[in-house]
């Protein structure tokens, strides 16, 4: 974690905040944590940037996979009527509430050298303790959330709309896309839920990633490490950064829904 | 019903059932090209089901529907090209959560048509809503929304326009606009119109011929004047007098 406290570039704004904070209230853990968070952000700490970057890359790619699988699956379950649908829905609901650490354990066993996937030695199967393994675990955690909320969203669209769209000459594919577009607020919520479920997740990425410095350390595992080492300020700082990132991304997604914070 | 007449639709020995419940049983029905044909009858008589079959949204359970040069048999979905020659304006205007313009051009967009501007503008002008083109569809009144739904149907220039109680619950002004637009489409573009209504007065104002549907069966089909002046079936007479008919 070299570099976290190393950055000594003077930044006026941080100094002002520190002076103000120390005068206004006795600096406790929270005060230090916030100031530390600001300092790390404004000084562009290299180690922090690497952790934030890896967190975003792993969760971003996992969210992309989850969306590519979850949205079509949710649409199919919400709009289609086929044999086995109820069973798939039951599995999906189970997946929505599945403890991430158990998913991490399953992925660990699958990817370990003696596991069914790990023993294949295939170049397309990521090995344990790599970002690829973390992406797989997070994708499995997120896609039931995306699929479940997407299903609920499309089922909430007026049933008459599908018939009307077909009456206007839509193909099955066009009808599905139109229903998804009408349910876009709910579909975006499903993606937000998926993102929330993995960016803040620690158990699975800890198991399959191993929290290796510079390779698989992400924000949540770094928080666990700093807390265990008694560096509560730093842990709080990382928590504040995680919260800020989540907030910014959720605001961006809210804008994709066509809504603003004022509404 | 003269077999020598050209027909737009020819329905033969058609039944439609949902599970064990049979909702339609029609021995024969011809709808002529360029006519306004009204289907009247009480609620639950199968009028809307017949419209769904005529729009090829559902296949018949048995029998066949011949539309122009193609026949759709029981249990088989109609080809897309056939379905695209017909469209429906439903009783409740279900508009997309987009602008009025986006709603009206929707059918053209589905067909990949390019030059939409002029067609959409003309359709909106025809229903008197050109000034609302950029407005969100969800902000429209019920009457305005139904006029948008009619404009949305007319831009795709269907051979047949199916209207399912298009003016139920609308105020007289909007009823007038919609009826006049339907008349114009029929006269100027020779568009065949099938109108489902429980309002016999509207059927009388608009239709060339009227059919009475009771309990899934066609009781009588006649030219509008005859339907009112010389009903052949006592149930038709009772229906036009506003009596309860089952």
Q: What is the pLDDT of residues B97-135, one digit of tens each?
A: 999 999 999 999 999 998 889 999 999 999 999 999 999
Which of B23-27, B37-41, B115-119, B149-153 is least confident?
B115-119
Residue B216 tokens, joined:
């899934």
Segment B46-89, tens digit of pLDDT: 999 999 999 999 999 999 999 998 999 888 889 999 999 999 99
Task: Kindly state whether B152 is in contact with chain A, defined as any CB-CB distance less than 8 angstroms.
Answer: yes
Give the Cα separation of B125 and B135 in Å (integer). Answer: 15
Q: Which CATH class is domain A12-256?
A: mainly alpha
- Cα dist from A174 to A180, A256, A262, B61, whole Å: 10, 21, 33, 26
Q: Which of B55, B97, B111 sits opposite A167 (nearest CB)?
A: B55
The residue behind tokens 């990949």 is: B112
Beta strands in B78-216 (DSSP E): 86-89, 160-164, 192-197, 209-214
Considering only CA atoms, which of B30, B22, B10 is closest in space to residue B72? B10
Task: Classify each residue of A111-121 as buried b or exposed e, where b means 16 or more C-beta atoms within 10 Å of its C-beta.
Answer: bbeebebbeee
pLDDT confidence of residue A23: 46
pLDDT confidence of residue A8: 44
- Cα dist from A80 to A104, A162, B5, B72, B177, whole Å: 31, 12, 42, 24, 38
Give the Cα separation of A142 and A137 in Å (integer). Answer: 9
pLDDT confidence of residue B241: 87
pLDDT confidence of residue A21: 46
Task: Calculate mean pLDDT across residues B123-150.
Answer: 96
Which residues contact residue B34 at a Cβ distance below 8 angstroms, ignoring those fewer than 6 apart?
Answer: B8, B186, B190, B191, B192
Q: HEC states along B200-215?
A: HHHHHHHCCEEEEEEC
Q: Is the pLDDT of residue B4 over 70?
A: no
pLDDT in tens, chain A (263 residues): 444 444 444 445 555 445 444 444 444 555 666 677 678 778 888 888 999 999 999 999 999 999 999 999 999 999 999 999 999 999 999 999 999 999 999 999 999 999 999 999 899 999 999 999 999 999 999 999 999 999 999 999 998 999 999 999 999 999 999 999 999 999 999 999 999 999 999 999 999 999 999 999 999 999 999 999 988 888 888 898 999 999 998 888 888 776 554 55
What's the mean pLDDT when you consider all of chain B?
93
- The CA-CA-CA angle for residues A139, A143, A147, to 5°, reads 170
For residue B106, list chain A residues with Cβ-Cβ distance below 8 A. Answer: 165, 168
Q: Is the pLDDT of residue B229 over 70?
A: yes
pLDDT confidence of residue B245: 64
For residue B87, list chain A residues with Cβ-Cβ distance below 8 A. Answer: 167-169
Considering only CA atoms, which of B124, B141, B142, B143 is closest in space to residue B133? B124
pLDDT confidence of residue B243: 77
pLDDT confidence of residue A4: 47
Burial level of A73, CB count in 10 A (0-12/13-18/19+)?
A: buried
The shortest C-alpha distance from B26 to chain A (Å) reads: 22
Task: Calculate mean pLDDT across residues B18-44.
Answer: 95
Confidence of residue B152 (pLDDT cuts 50, 70, 90): very high
Outline which parts of chain B fall under CATH 3.40.50.300. 1-85+159-166+179-246
Let me know: does B25 contact B215? Beta carbons within 8 Å. no
For residue B86, list chain A residues with Cβ-Cβ distance below 8 A. Answer: 167
Segment B168-191, tens digit of pLDDT: 989 999 999 999 999 999 999 999
For residue A158, list chain B residues with Cβ-Cβ distance below 8 A. Answer: 94
Let me know: does B65 contact B72? Beta carbons within 8 Å. yes
Task: Kindly state whether B217 is in contact with chain A, defined as any CB-CB distance less than 8 angstroms.
Answer: no
CB contact under 8 A, B90 and A170: no
Q: Where are the domains of chain A?
A: 12-256
Give the Cα separation of A120 and A109 in Å (integer). Answer: 13
CATH of B1-85+159-166+179-246, one of 3.40.50.1220, 3.40.50.300, 1.20.1560.10, 3.90.380.10: 3.40.50.300
The shortest C-alpha distance from B180 to chain A (Å) reads: 22
- Cα dist from A16 to A11, A30, A231, B169, B189, whole Å: 9, 17, 23, 67, 76
């Amino acid at each position: 974690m070299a570099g976290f406290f190393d950055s000594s570039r003077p930044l006026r704004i941080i100094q002002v905040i520190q002076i103000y904070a120390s005068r206004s209230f006795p600096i406790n853990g929270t005060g230090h944590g916030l100031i530390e968070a600001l300092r790390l952000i404004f000084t562009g700490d290299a180690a922090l940037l690497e952790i934030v970057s890896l967190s975003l890359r792993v969760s971003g790619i996992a969210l992309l996979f989850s969306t590519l699988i979850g949205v079509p699956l949710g649409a199919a379950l919400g709009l289609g009527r086929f044999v086995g649908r109820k069973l798939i829905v039951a599995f999906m609901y189970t997946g929505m509430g599945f403890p991430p650490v158990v998913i991490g354990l399953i992925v660990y066993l699958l990817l370990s050298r003696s596991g069914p996937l790990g023993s294949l030695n295939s170049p397309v199967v990521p090995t344990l303790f790599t970002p690829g393994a973390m992406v797989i675990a997070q994708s499995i955690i997120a896609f039931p959330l995306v699929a479940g909320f997407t299903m609920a969203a499309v089922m909430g669209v007026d049933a008459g709309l599908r018939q009307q769209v077909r009456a206007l000459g839509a193909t099955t594919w066009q009808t599905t896309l139109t229903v998804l577009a009408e349910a876009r607020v709910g579909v975006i919520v499903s993606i937000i839920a998926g993102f929330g479920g993995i960016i803040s997740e620690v158990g699975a990425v800890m198991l399959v990633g191993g929290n290796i410095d510079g390779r698989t350390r992400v924000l949540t595992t770094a928080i666990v490490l700093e807390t265990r080492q008694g560096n509560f300020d730093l842990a709080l700082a990382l928590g504040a950064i995680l919260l800020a990132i989540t907030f910014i991304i959720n605001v961006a997604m809210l804008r994709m829904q066509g809504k603003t914070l004022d509404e | 019903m003269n077999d020598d007449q050209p027909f737009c639709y020819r329905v033969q020995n058609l039944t439609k059932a949902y599970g064990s419940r049979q909702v339609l049983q029609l021995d024969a029905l011809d709808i002529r090209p360029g006519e306004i044909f009204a289907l009247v009858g009480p609620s639950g008589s199968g009028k809307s089901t017949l419209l769904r079959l005529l729009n090829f949204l559902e296949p018949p359970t048995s029998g066949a529907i011949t539309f122009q040069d193609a026949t759709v048999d029981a249990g088989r979905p109609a080809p897309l090209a056939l379905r695209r020659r017909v469209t429906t304006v439903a009783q409740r205007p279900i508009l997309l959560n987009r602008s009025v313009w986006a709603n009206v051009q929707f059918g053209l967009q589905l067909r990949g048509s390019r030059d939409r501007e002029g067609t959409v503008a003309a359709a909106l002008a025809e229903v008197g809503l050109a000034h609302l083109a950029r407005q969100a569809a969800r902000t429209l009144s019920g009457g305005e929304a139904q006029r948008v739904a009619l404009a949305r149907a007319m831009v795709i220039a269907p051979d047949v326009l199916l209207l399912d109680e298009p003016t139920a619950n609308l105020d007289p002004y909007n009823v007038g606009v919609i009826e006049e637009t339907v008349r114009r489409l029929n006269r100027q573009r020779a568009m065949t119109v099938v109108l489902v209504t429980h309002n016999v007065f509207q059927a009388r104002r608009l239709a060339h011929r009227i059919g009475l549907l009771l309990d899934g069966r066609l009781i009588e089909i006649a030219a509008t004047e005859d339907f009112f002046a010389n009903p052949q079936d006592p149930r038709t007479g009772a229906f036009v007098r506003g009596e309860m008919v089952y």
